[in-house]
Amino acid sequence: MITEFVIDPGERIKRLDAFLVSHERGVSRSSLQRLILAGRIQVNAADAKPSQKIKPGDRITIDKPEPGPMLVANEPVPLEILYEDEALLVVNKPAGVVVHPTSGNWKGTLLNGLLDYLQSNGTSNGRNPEKDHPGLVHRLDKETSGVMVVAKTDQAHQVLCSQFEDHKVVRRYEALVYERPKDDQGTIHLEIGRDAITGKRVSTNTTKPQSAATEFKILHQFGNMASRIELTPLTGRQHQLRVHLASLGCPILGDALYGGQKVSRIQGISIPRMMLHAKMLRFRHPVSKQWADFQSSLPTAMEVVVKDLAVQAA
């Protein structure tokens, strides 16, 4: 069922999910957030985020599946859990797994597995499996591996989301990229947004540019073929790291969308997937308020490519 409306004059600026909680009676905030992340709620005919600020005159379109209280089905999906307590859990997402169900990927997602895991264990800690759902705080692209935090309570979700929005969360990634940046380290400042022509890519050719900044540092160079780079995003735009590295002429190996065919094979070395890994996540625990630091080593697929590049460069 699709509904559409325009936000009335006089409505104060607020988060999209917060506005919809009061507008869509009987639908929980977590359910609305999942609809937004699945692309079923749009603002001005464009995909949105739960934290997006809405204002008078914005047109909201809601494509609400009918019927059923569960918008995402439980499904056993292998999970590598790095940490868990009553407020949250931290997972090591493998490459090739979509975080949230969307068109063409309704099964086998991380959220399907999280729902199954938490509801299967719901009686052990007092959770109500019919009402309690994991709260996605951030996402990684399908082919990106690494550390993610997931909230288990509304309070934890709100606190963690605020930390991400206020850029108080520290994230570090490693990437293997084509050739090497001109400088050994630096900060990329480049406004990006949904491409005005294709709509599938993110680029500087956009009608809605958003500021984006990424720190980078070369960790190792494999001759003139490739480089191993540490990345620290200072903002959290979609495809930010991929677009920023491509803007330097150094697209991520295996990222055909932004690097084309040249990054699928390097000097006879086959690149099995996009070489991007979220290796570290640091945030304040929503309950204890203490800093929590979680890390993940490079997955096997990236380690193999690193070794092959080292041999080829020797």
Is 245 a domain residue? yes
Q: What is the pLDDT of residue 129?
A: 40
Contact at 8 Å (CB) between 294 and 82?
yes
Looking up residue 161, the CATH number of its domain turns out to be 3.30.2350.10
| Token code pair at residue 288 | 């204890």
Q: Do both 174 and 159 map to the same domain? A: no
Is 18 a domain residue? yes
Q: Do both 285 and 203 map to the same domain? A: yes
Helix, strand, or coil here: 219?
Answer: strand
Q: What is the pLDDT of residue 160?
A: 93
Q: Do both 136 and 264 map to the same domain? A: no
Q: Do both 101 and 36 map to the same domain? A: no
CA atoms within 13 A on the CB side of 204: 7
Angle, alpha carbons 88-93-99 (nearest 5°): 80
Q: What is the pLDDT of residue 144?
A: 97
Is 131 a domain residue? yes
Q: Do both 189 and 230 map to the same domain? A: yes
* Single-letter amino acid code for the residue at 39: G
Contact at 8 Å (CB) between 281 and 233?
no
Compute φ and ψ for 229, nearest 5 degrees: -130, 140
Q: Do both 88 and 191 map to the same domain? A: no
Is 74 a domain residue? no
Q: What is the pLDDT of residue 104?
A: 66
Residue with tokens 């850029």: 167
Q: Do both 183 and 279 map to the same domain? A: yes
Q: Do both 154 and 52 map to the same domain? A: no
Interatomic CA distance for residues 293 and 140, integer angstroms: 18
Looking up residue 52, the CATH number of its domain turns out to be 3.10.290.10
Q: Give 135-172 pLDDT, tens digit per residue.
A: 888 999 999 999 999 999 888 988 998 899 889 999 99
Is 70 a domain residue? no
Q: Which of 165, 182, 217 is the last residue of a domain?
A: 165
CA atoms within 13 A on the CB side of 12: 2
Q: Do both 98 and 206 map to the same domain? A: no
Contact at 8 Å (CB) between 209 and 193?
yes
Q: What is the pLDDT of residue 122?
A: 59
Q: Do both 151 and 177 map to the same domain? A: no
Q: What is the pLDDT of residue 146?
A: 98
Q: What is the pLDDT of residue 51?
A: 86
Q: Give 102-113 pLDDT, tens digit per residue.
A: 766 678 899 889
Is 72 a domain residue? no
Interatomic CA distance for residues 148 and 92, integer angstroms: 6
Q: How many domains does the chain have?
A: 3
Residue 133 lies in domain? 81-165
Contact at 8 Å (CB) between 259 and 178?
yes
Q: Which of 165, 189, 220 is the last residue of a domain?
A: 165
The list of the chain residues with pLDDT below 50 reads 67-70, 123-132
Q: Do both 89 and 32 map to the same domain? A: no
Q: Give 267-298 pLDDT, tens digit per residue.
A: 999 999 999 999 999 999 999 999 999 999 99
Whole-model pTM over 0.75: yes
Interatomic CA distance for residues 146 and 95, integer angstroms: 8
A 10 A CB-CB count for 15 gives: 16
Is 68 a domain residue? no
Q: What is the pLDDT of residue 67?
A: 43
Q: What is the pLDDT of residue 25?
A: 65
302 DSSP 8-state letter: H
152 DSSP 8-state letter: S
Average pLDDT, the chain: 88
Q: Do both 178 and 159 map to the same domain? A: no
Question: For 199-210, b where at least 16 C-beta lie within 10 A, e where not — what string?
Answer: eebbbeebeeee
Contacts of 311 (CB under 8 A, 6+ apart): none
List residues with catalytic annotation.
141
Q: Which of 105, 138, 165 is the last residue of a domain?
A: 165
Q: What is the pLDDT of residue 75?
A: 84
Q: What is the pLDDT of residue 19?
A: 87
Is 73 a domain residue? no
Handedness of CA 116, 119, 125, 127 (dihedral sign): positive
Interatomic CA distance for residues 86 and 169, integer angstroms: 20
